[in-house]
Structure 1
Amino acid sequence: MAAIETERNRRAAKIGIAQERYAGWLDVRRTIVGAFDSYRTECLVDFNGGWAELRRFAWSAPIESIWHTGERCYFLSLSLDGAPETNRSNVELALAMPDGGRRVLLVPPEQTISSICRTGGQRRSLRCLIDADFVESICSFKPTREERAQIGAADFSGGTIEWLLLRMYREICHAEVGMKIAVESIAREIAVEIARAVERRRSNTRRRMGGLPSWRMRLILDRIHAEGPLPRVSDLAILSGMTVRHLGRAFQTEMGKTLGKFIAAAMVERASRMLEAGMPVGAVAATLGYASSSSFAHAFHRETGILPSSVRDGERHRGAPGTGAASALRQ
């Protein structure tokens, strides 16, 4: 009995340390810390204007918590174990936020959230907290409280923000040179996407110009980032049940870049990882579905300005700043 109590105290102390870090960002007003069977921060990355945390925890009894985002905080969470079975609501605005298949949670500043996990389970998630001043400085003017709440109620699963959070997760897991810089860069891209979401709602751009529903965008992104040969635009049009022209227009409205450029960026990212791991250029070309090594090399050079053999031999790290996968993905 004493051992169980000691373990609970140890877990509560860990959570207390985490809550101290959240000061000014998140205010956890009520939670049942003793219900956690385990709680572990796997990695924590500070960057200018925020921080990211990869964490894992498990519980065997229902957990109810109430927490409030501070004035300075845009809070994002990506569930890495599929959609969580959690019911959430905005307490102050009586706004329901059921997850219902949602993997991405975005909570704007000054929102009070009630979260209930009715059954036991375990969770691995990526949390990212971004300074609100930076996010809202990108907007044409500061969002109202109602506009913030509307953004928080939106489902960002399957879109650009989820893709960026997955990129951040991969950066943290690989922990390569420049990881902190890369994580900060991705966080800034997320801030831009949040600001754009605010502006789209203001101008009703999505309805006027047309975009892609989150379920359809999820299909497309999952196919682009799946293992095996890269898809053609026509393949994605068939998958999404749209014409090539309609898909191209809708995708560019949603993502701010053409579908072809997005596929090329995914190619660079996947190819770079394989090349840096020592895989032969021919094998990389075959894996990605290119007919020959030369056609792959031409496509890679067109996007990055360097040859894939240079990446495999390590020359990319001695080249000019801004070359390689990270640069291509930002274009």
Structure 2
Amino acid sequence: MPMERGSVAEFNVDAELPMAMGRVRVVRQSWAAPIDNMAVTPLHHLELSLLPRSDHARACFPAHWGPHRFEPIGELFLFPAQQLVHAKSDCRHQNSISFDFDPELMAKWVDCNPEWTDKRLRACLDIVSHDIRNLLFRIGEEARAPGLAARTMIELMAMQAAIELSRHILNIDEEKAIGGLSPWRLRLIEERLTSDITPPTVTELAAMCNISVRHLTRAFRVSRGRAIGSYVLEHRMNHAKKLIETGMNIKSVAQAMDFTASSNFTAAFRRATGETPRDYRQRVSRSMARPLAHIH
């Protein structure tokens, strides 16, 4: 993306495939200082982080939110075309798969240009879709080890990812966020989830916010556009990822995460991330240690 101002990154493109609809790239980036960038892209920029994303990664759409509102960035996110984005993070290294594509394709395929409302912009920063995530991951795997008709395969998966993304955006509930949680309650929940590896119950969070469980579950969905249970699980799996990255064996990670059996932890991790804990460890190790193949 063209940068207007911000931190300078060491940028290495390990694989790149220009297509009629846009471009797929597998890249490695390093920063010597905390990220503080502002960018505008003429294309939709969809990105999947292959290494753990910092808990402090945040982004703002200043033209819509003003300069001071920042929301968390997940491992799968979209920066919409022609939208100024201000991103901050203490990340130092990242490997990722990105797909930049023409915004006119969205109008062509789904017969609609989405309005970039508050809820849609917020949801773009943390896309919860196993289908889109798995498509980008498969594109990256094909880039690492190109097989028969790799270019055609990648183009087809990229097109499917763009269509799935279009559906995802258009299906975001656009009702006004009336009756959502107050900012201080959302902040309390976020602090509890990031500071303690033990997952809280909904009852605990409701008591902490001094509201009923029923009120919490309804208001959280209005504020965040998702169920609080899935949000807690995501944070729990993020804690697990960090433990896996330290080299701790899977059984010990399961015990630390308060699972009664390793098999239960593996099943929960796979449901949440699309891969097993062992597969995750191997992918992170491979991404850190091995340069990727180019597609010609």
Q: Distance in 1 between matches of 2:115 and 2:152?
A: 31
Q: Distance in 1 between matches of 2:160 and 2:47?
A: 16
1:74 maps to 2:77: no
* Partner of residue 104 from structure 1, selected from 61, 72, 76: 76
Indicate if the aligned counterparts of 2:106 and 2:113 stay in contact, CA closer than 8 A: no
Q: Which amino acid counterpart does residue 182 of structure 1 have in structure 2?
A: M
Distance 1:130 1:54, change over 3 A: same
Structure 1 residue 152 displacement after superposition: 4.9
Structure 1 residue 154 displacement after superposition: 5.3
- Matched residue of 1:161: which SS? helix
Distance 1:108 1:129, change over 3 A: same
Q: Distance in 1 between matches of 2:11 and 2:82?
A: 26
Q: Distance in 2 between matches of 1:217 and 1:32?
A: 29
Q: What is the correspondence of 1:46-125 to structure 2 with a 5 Å cutoff?
A: 46-70=18-42, 73-84=43-54, 85-94=56-65, 96-99=70-73, 102-118=74-90, 121-125=92-96
Structure 1 residue 137 displacement after superposition: 2.1
Match of 2:103 in 1: 132
Match of 2:140 in 1: 169
- Matched residue of 2:93: which SS? strand
Indicate if the aligned counterparts of 2:46 and 2:77 stay in contact, CA closer than 8 A: yes
Match of 2:112 in 1: 141
Distance 1:166 1:63, change over 3 A: same
Unmatched 5+ stretches in structure 1 = 1-25, 221-234, 241-250, 252-262, 267-331
RMSD across aligned C-alpha pairs, in angstroms? 3.7
Identity across the alignment (%)? 17
1:184 maps to 2:155: yes
Give the TM-score of the pair, scaled to structure 2.
0.55
Distance 1:216 1:185, change over 3 A: farther
Structure 1 residue 188 displacement after superposition: 0.9
Q: What is the correspondence of 1:153-164 to structure 2 with a 5 Å cutoff?
A: 153=124, 155-157=126-128, 159-164=130-135
Distance 1:184 1:123, change over 3 A: same
Q: Which amino acid counterpart does residue 122 of structure 1 have in structure 2?
A: H
Structure 1 residue 105 displacement after superposition: 1.4
- Matched residue of 2:147: which SS? coil
Indicate if the aligned counterparts of 2:61 and 2:83 stay in contact, CA closer than 8 A: yes
Match of 2:282 in 1: none
Q: Which segments of structure 1 move beyond 6 Å, counting only runs of 4 or more?
A: 214-220
Match of 2:13 in 1: 41
Of structures 1 and 2, the one scoring higher in RCO (CA 8 A, sep 6+) is 2
Match of 2:7 in 1: 32
Give the TM-score of the pair, scaled to structure 1.
0.49
Indicate if the aligned counterparts of 2:139 and 2:157 stay in contact, CA closer than 8 A: yes
